[in-house]
Structure 1
Amino acid sequence: MTQTPDRRGLLVILSSPSGAGKSTLAKRLMTWDPSLQFSVSATTRAPRAGEVDEKDYYFVSETTFRKWVTEGEMLEHAHVFGNNYGSPKAPVEAAIGSGRDVLFDIDWQGAQQIRTSALGSHTLSIFILPPSIPELHRRLVTRGQDTPETIAKRMRKSWDEISHWDGYDYVLINDSLADTEEKLKTIITAERMRVAQQPRLSDHVRTLQSQFEDLS
């Protein structure tokens, strides 16, 4: 018989405009707590240099992606910069059911879909704001991953992302990676203790009630 875990896993969502630091912060959280399971997204875009299939992304065809969406196998999905991205549902359900938190690096559209899904009550959403727009642009340029045209597209999209800041549980201004990392750790540690995340609490309360009645 499988024992109920002491704690149900959280779906920890990090969102931000490109360049605000969410990917770096996600990596730092994984180092802080290796039990965190990163949600590997499926995408129809081609792999970049050094990316590994089923580790960085599930690289799939448009046909396969549409099939997964139609069959309800995606927890969330979106079309971004000409490609489809989405989070396969099965590994997420298995992880949180066994008490492991799952970390998502997704945009506001994906966050909204997860928050309104059947797993929404176990979701913790955090939006990362840049300290300024010039700094956001500087970070995109200095990381050296995109062409000037792509950077321009990301900057145009950034305000659309930022405009959804108030749809999240927490919002942090990332003017210092170290400080923002510490705030994230504090938030996650506290949210793990939500009543909804502790499935054995009701059994413990019933035991206390029985013990109380035995004293009567």
Structure 2
Amino acid sequence: MIALVRYITAVVLHSQRFLPPLMLFAGVAIMFIAGTGTSPVVGTYGAVAGVLFACSTWFTLVLVAAEDPVRREITAVNAGGFRRVLIATVLVALAGCLLVSGVLLVSAPLFAAHPIGAAELAAGFLAQFTAASTGIAAGLVSSRLVLPRAGHSVLAALALVAIFALGTGLPPVNPTIRLLANTSDALDALAGTAAYAGVALLLLIGGTVVAHLVATRRD
């Protein structure tokens, strides 16, 4: 599995298709973090999570499409099955999203007017995990593994991003952002963010299963 993760990472890095979602996330997230000032940093972490959600969906689409269908079949045969390739793809997507967001997460104290404690960092990490996991799930079910036509894939991804980001009663992304935006005490937000992170993990597992079932039946 480690070799497969390294291979998929090398493929997406060589393609350089990861740069647009990375640059979008970094640019918008830096603006939010730089403008923290005297505002509660947990609110900034929530806003950054919203950006990460959209960009992680985009990154997953890019990651799935890094290989054409023929090369994907060859990779699956050499790796011992498509399931292993899909799991490795999810691991690369999650690691990449959390790595990039983690760098910005720990840089927030440079711009905050008050010291940031462990509770703030924990709430921020849970929010980033929630956003990344939900975004990857959305990317998987709208990728060409499920929707072969590029136009349908993009429209589905945009619809899912809009639904989860703007749906006030639909967990876990929008409630996470609202929770962090409306609290000044990170300890009060920890239980809620942990619960939403659990929902996001279930969505990630479900999205992976759906992508696997649809892709293997089609093939």
More helix by share: 2
More strand by share: 1
Bin the TM-score by the shorter chain. Answer: under 0.3
TM-score for the superposition, normalised by structure 2:
0.26
Choose between structure 1 and 2 for higher RCO, CA contacts under 8 A separated by at least 6 residues: 1
TM-score for the superposition, normalised by structure 1:
0.26
Larger Rg: 1 or 2?
1
